[in-house]
C-alpha cells in the first residue's frame, strides 16, 4: 500500500467534496446535527465576493458549478480531479507496475490542474469574474485551497517515486 498515495487521495477528496475543513466539531440534536466552531476555507482563490473552489464558485452566497460558469474550467476541475482520485483509489493499493503508472497519472493530472488554475483562470477571468486579470494578478488572491493543492501535488510526486513494487 502506498501511504503517500492514500494521503494524496484524502486531500483530493477534501478539495473536491468540502467547502471548508471543520475544526471544533460538536453534535447537536437539531438541524444540522453536526456543526463546527471553526471553518478553515478551502477555496483556491478569493476575489471580492467571489470564492473559487475546485467544484465551483460561490458569489454572494449563490452556488454555481463550473459547467454553469465556464465549460473548460469544468473539464479541468470537475473531470480531471475526480478522475485523478478514482485512479489513485486503484493505484495506491496495487504494489505493481500498473499501480505506479496510475500514481504517475495522478501526479500528471494534479500538475495540469495546478497549471490551469494559475494560467487558465487569469485567461478566462473576464468570463468567470467579470474582470480581466493580468498574468500575475491571480497570485494576490490565493487562498488555502491553492496551498492544499500544492501539498497534494508534492505528495503525489513522492507517492509516484516511492511506489512499492513487489
Partner 1 sequence: MAIKSGIFAGILALIIAFIAEIPIYPPENLIMSFKIFASENIDFYFWGYILNGGTIITTLIGLIPESFISLCIWLMIFFIGVSSIMASTKKSKFNNSLKLFKINILLSSLILIIFGIIIFFLVLVNIAFFLNVIGFGYYFTIIILILNLFALRSLKKE
In whole angstroms, the minimum distance from the beta carbon of 98 to partner 1 comes to 18
Per-residue contact flags (x/-) with partner 1 for residues 16 to 35, judged by CB under 8 A: ------xxxxxx-x------
Q: Which of 16, 67, 124, 144 binds partner 1 (CB under 8 A)?
A: 144
Q: How far apart are CA 82 and CA 88, in angstroms?
A: 10
Does the footprint of partner 1 cover residue 37 (CB under 8 A)?
yes
Q: Interface residues for partner 1 in 39-68 (CB under 8 A)? A: 40-41
Decide: 19 and 121 in contact? Cβ < 8 Å: no
Q: How far apart are CA 22 and CA 46, in angstroms?
A: 19
- Is residue 92 a contact partner of residue 105, using CB atoms and an 8 Å limit? no
Cell of 117: 488554475
- Give the span between the Cα atoms of 7 and 92, in whole angstroms: 10
Beta carbon of residue 23, minimum distance to partner 1 (angstroms, whole number): 4
**Which residues form the interface with partner 1 (CB under 8 A)?**
1, 3, 7, 22-27, 29, 36-38, 40-41, 144
Amino acid at each position: 500500500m502506498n501511504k503517500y498515495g492514500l494521503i494524496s487521495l484524502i486531500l483530493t477528496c477534501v478539495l473536491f467534496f468540502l467547502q471548508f475543513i471543520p475544526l471544533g466539531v460538536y453534535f447537536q440534536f437539531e438541524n444540522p446535527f453536526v456543526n463546527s466552531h471553526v471553518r478553515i476555507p478551502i477555496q483556491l482563490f478569493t476575489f471580492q465576493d467571489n470564492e473559487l473552489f475546485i467544484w465551483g464558485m460561490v458569489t454572494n452566497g449563490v452556488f454555481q458549478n463550473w459547467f454553469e460558469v465556464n465549460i473548460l474550467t469544468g473539464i479541468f476541475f470537475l473531470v480531471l480531479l475526480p478522475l485523478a482520485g478514482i485512479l489513485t483509489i486503484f493505484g495506491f493499493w496495487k504494489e505493481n507496475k500498473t499501480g505506479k503508472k496510475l500514481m504517475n497519472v495522478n501526479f500528471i493530472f494534479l500538475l495540469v490542474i495546478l497549471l490551469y488554475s494559475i494560467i487558465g483562470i487569469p485567461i478566462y477571468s473576464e468570463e468567470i469574474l467579470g474582470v480581466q486579470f493580468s498574468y500575475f494578478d491571480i497570485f494576490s488572491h490565493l487562498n488555502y485551497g491553492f496551498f492544499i493543492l500544492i501539498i497534494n501535488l508534492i505528495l503525489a510526486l513522492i507517492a509516484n517515486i516511492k511506489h512499492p513494487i513487489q
